[in-house]
Amino acid sequence: MKNIPVKQIMTDKVISVQLKALLTDVAEIFEANRIHHIPVVDNRGMAVGMISRLDYYKLQDHFSLFLCDSAEERNRKFFSSLLASEVMSKNIVTISADAPVSAAVEIFLENLFHALPVTSDGKLVGIVTDYDVLKYMYDREKTAALSASGSGQ
């Protein structure tokens, strides 16, 4: 795993938003996709922030949990007044697509992050999550176990 580049396990069809995207756009993305992090990019495609699903949930009216119609209306009004640049985490850490997966693991462990924007020449090219690392390790172990059991027959 140490020498496998991040680009081999990252998601390259990353969903991102621009700095001036409304939080209503972010809400639609979270509602329509099974993702937990949305990178925010500037007009050059550079990763400049991140919005997590948890950040999004924290901004929702707490009565949304009870499916209260008035809370949903308040959310729509509130979200249509906020920009991604106003709610994103700004001090993000990125990783190069060519960096080893072990470097991503170290960043995850040191910072308790769950996702890293992946860049090439500074531009967003993907996202790698702790889930991607776990899946890679699981698949590798599963393949090794199948190979070992198949070689004894």
**Burial, 119: exposed, middle or buried (Cβ in 10 Å; 0-12, 13-18, 19+)?**
buried
For the chain, domains (ranges, CATH) are 6-151 (3.10.580.10)
| Residues sharing a CB contact under 8 Å with residue 35, sequence separation 6 or more, in sequence order | 15, 29, 53
- Residue 4, Cβ neighbours under 10 Å: how many? 14
Model-level pTM?
0.84
* pLDDT in single tens digits along all 153 residues of the chain: 568 999 999 999 999 999 999 999 999 999 999 999 999 999 999 999 999 999 988 888 655 666 677 878 888 888 899 999 999 999 899 999 999 999 999 999 999 889 999 999 989 999 999 999 999 988 888 877 777 776 655
